[in-house]
């Protein structure tokens, strides 16, 4: 699967995508990530400054990302993904809330290319969504500085649903009995004069009881 990320800050993704599971998935060619900076699609004026934002019509604080450079960036991505099954996603606080079921649906419907449009400032000119018919997605009931973090969230969540990315099917938390309360060695942790023990049921070897305990937790 290919992820096409439209962002004015592609360098924000460097460390996250080079490490751990995602880094290995890229190395193994399970996924690939391509970046498109809207600034690259603006003709540079004499001062070489490439503005991607402007004042909002109707007044109000902040600036709004301009439609033209974003549309050109997406067009470039669509040109690379030509003939494939593509999903275009635009991050918005008013969008559909992202859940694991959405990531599963992406894989089940066999999309080959996902275009992620990361906004900044006060948002993106609404005509971008209307022209591209992009699906608006939110990762939660809060406001972030930009769409780069949401893009990372989707890349991570969707990638782990791709066969072979995690190595074992059982690694998917949603496909096994899992609990947020987990323990590892030592069996007894001594800290400031107190002993903190692992629950006995986890040491019993009785998988039925262990799963029952996990469900309760």
Q: How many helices (H) and strands (E) does the chain have?
A: 7, 9
- The number of CA neighbours under 13 Å toward the Cβ of 103 is 19
Backbone angles phi, psi at 12, to 5 degrees: -65, -20
Binding site annotation covers 144? yes
Binding site annotation covers 131? no
Binding site annotation covers 143? yes
In sequence order, the 6+-apart residues with CB closer than 8 A to the CB of 33 are: 2, 3, 5, 13, 17, 26, 155
Binding site annotation covers 142? yes
Binding site annotation covers 140? yes
Which sign, positive or negative, has the C-alpha torsion 40, 42, 48, 49?
Answer: negative
Binding site annotation covers 139? yes
Binding site annotation covers 57? no
Binding residues: 119, 139-144
Binding residues for S-adenosyl-L-methionine: 119, 139-144
């Amino acid at each position: 699967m290919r992820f096409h990320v439209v962002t004015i800050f592609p360098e924000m993704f460097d460390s996250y995508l080079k490490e751990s599971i995602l880094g290995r998935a890229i190395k193994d060619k399970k996924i690939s990530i391509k970046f498109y900076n809207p600034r690259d699609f603006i003709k540079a004026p004499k001062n070489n400054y490439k503005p991607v934002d402007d004042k909002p019509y109707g007044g109000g604080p902040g600036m709004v990302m301009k439609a033209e450079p974003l549309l050109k960036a997406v067009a470039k991505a669509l040109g690379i993904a030509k003939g494939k099954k593509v999903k275009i996603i635009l991050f918005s606080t008013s969008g559909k809330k992202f859940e694991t079921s959405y990531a599963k649906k992406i894989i089940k419907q066999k999309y080959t290319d996902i275009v992620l449009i990361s906004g900044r400032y006060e948002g993106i000119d609404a005509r971008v969504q209307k022209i591209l018919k992009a699906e608006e997605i939110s990762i939660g009931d809060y406001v972030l500085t930009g769409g780069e973090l949401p893009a990372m969230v989707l890349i991570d969540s969707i990638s782990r649903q791709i066969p072979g990315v995690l190595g074992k099917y059982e690694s998917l938390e949603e496909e096994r009995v899992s609990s947020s309360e987990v323990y590892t060695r030592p069996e007894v942790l001594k800290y400031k004069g107190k002993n903190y023990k692992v629950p006995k049921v986890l040491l019993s070897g009785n998988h039925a009881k262990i799963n029952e305990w996990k469900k309760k937790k």
